[in-house]
Every structure is written in structure tokens, then in C-alpha cells.
Amino acid sequence: MREHDRERLEYLAAYVLRPPLALDRLKLLGPATVCIELRRPWADRTTHVSMTASTFLSRLASLVPRPRANNLIYSGVLAGNATGRKKVVPTTANPKRVIDSSFAALMRHSFGIDLLSCRKCRGRMRFVAVILERSEVKRILQHLRMWSDPLPLEPARAPPEYPDELDFP
């Protein structure tokens, strides 16, 4: 599309901005009832469909695609479970990829921090044990000359008090 082609730009804008339902086919039958005139009669000769406003809005909202979801649907041999798909679609070299969801991997992916890299030799560290015994943890921290005493607990405080009535402008 050329940047100065106003007719095609207007056509594109009209196409993108068109509503999912023609407003001239939509009628309010009361404060809570909506009637939709069908473009073509159904097989049983139904020409209009009426429903409550909440049902209409829920059906209309179902037409909105989920955010960041793929809206392209494949059919035929390209469909997900088609019988001849393996003959047409190339397979990847590693079909079963194991996703590392450990805390260290998540920190590396999210913040670029490599928790398993040794600060001294830049080698890879590995887990040897998980120590849950409080006395053992304190003994190891004291041996490494690291702070080993727990933080003092602050006294509990009451929840904030709110006025009985809240005035909104």
C-alpha cells in the first residue's frame, strides 16, 4: 500500500473499525432485552433472536480474542492432530525440551543474574545439600564468618483505624 493512497487507507480504516454486528439489525425491546435480526433465516425459518442484555454482552465479549493468543487456526493436513501432518510439517531436532524452572534459572532468565556462578573462579556451582536444621545452618554461617543470629522481631501493631463513614466526592 502506498503511503499517499487515501482511498485504500480509508477502506482499510473502515474495515478495521467495523463493528462485529450491524447496528441497524440490533434493537432494544425493553430495558433488559436485546433483539438481533439475522442476516439470513436459519433452517427453521428463525429471523430474529432475543436475549437478555447480560447474555448479549457475554456473547459479544466472547468474540474478542484473548490477548497474546494465536488467532490463526489451521485446518486440513496442517491441523494439530491431522493424520498426514508428520509428512508435511518438518520436525524439530529436539522434540522434548526440558524447561528448567528452578529458582536459579528463573533469576537468570528474568534479571540476568547467574546465581550458580562462583564469584572467585567463575566456575559452575551445584547443589550439594539442603540444610533445614537451624543449629547446622547457624554453625555453617559462623564458620564462614557470616551473620548467623536471627533478626529481632518487631512488636506486632494493630491494623490502621478507618473512619466509620467514608465520604466520596
Where residue 14 falls among pLDDT bands split at 50, 70, 90? confident
d(CA 160, CA 142): 40
Residue 22 has pLDDT above 60, yes or no: yes
Q: Using pLDDT thresholds of 50, 70 and 90, give the confidence band for residue 167.
A: low
pLDDT at 1: 55
Q: Which of 127, 125, 149, 126 is CA-nearest to residue 137?
A: 149
Total-model pTM:
0.36
pLDDT tens-place string over residues 75-96: 888 887 888 888 888 776 666 6
Are 48 and 37 in contact, with CB atoms under 8 Å apart?
Answer: yes
DSSP reduced 3-state for 9? helix
Between these two residues, 35 and 13, which has the higher pLDDT value?
35
Predicted pLDDT of residue 33: 92
pLDDT value of position 93: 64
pLDDT tens per residue, range 92-149 = 666 666 777 788 888 888 888 888 888 888 899 888 888 889 899 889 888 988 887 8
Exposed, middle or buried by CB within 10 Å (0-12, 13-18, 19+), for 84?
exposed
Average pLDDT score over residue span 138-162: 85
pLDDT in tens, 24-70: 999 999 888 999 999 999 999 999 999 999 899 888 888 777 777 77
Count other C-beta atoms under 10 Å from residue 18's C-beta.
9
- 51's CB contacts (< 8 A; 6+ apart) are 33, 34, 36, 59
pLDDT band at 168 (very low <50, low <70, confident <90, very high): low
